[in-house]
Amino acid sequence: MRGCYCLIISMKKSEKLKIGHLYQDYKFKKGYYVYIGSAMNSLISRINRHLSDDKKMHWHIDYLLKSQNSTIRDILFNISNKKIECDLANKIAKNGEEVPKFGCSDCNCKSHLIYFKRKRDTLNSVKNAYNELNIEYYDLNYYKKELI
């Protein structure tokens, strides 16, 4: 199964982090971030990798998720053979603050990590982006609640 995903990440307090070769000392603010990615081989494996604490540091997002202050709060995703992560990132960025060059070393986007102060604004921006692009999406948090 292939597709794109949006990780909704909370930072419980501001923190300076080293992000691979990209940043020596980037200050991540307290609040919420959306990381937009794609998985053109296995969407489930990619999402599980992001949820795992036991992984090799490879992508920019791995360094952020390694922080004790960051937590994945929700995951929204779509199933498709079409790579739409750049379209999603550009739509979501209109309502938030881009972290320059984060997660987009393989494209021409300004960023694939967008900052928001409030969780509600974060979720609304992601859902609106999917809707504006007329793409059906799934909310993993919703399904997790249904399974409990």
**pLDDT tens across 48-93, in order?**
999 988 888 888 999 999 999 999 999 999 999 998 999 999 999 9
Q: Provide the pLDDT for residue 143.
A: 58
- In the predicted structure, residue 148 carries a pLDDT above the cut 60: no
> In terms of C-beta density within 10 A (0-12 exposed, 13-18 middle, 19 or more buried), how is residue 67 classed?
middle
- In the predicted structure, residue 33 carries a pLDDT above the cut 80: yes
- In the predicted structure, residue 131 carries a pLDDT above the cut 60: yes
3-state secondary structure of 118: coil
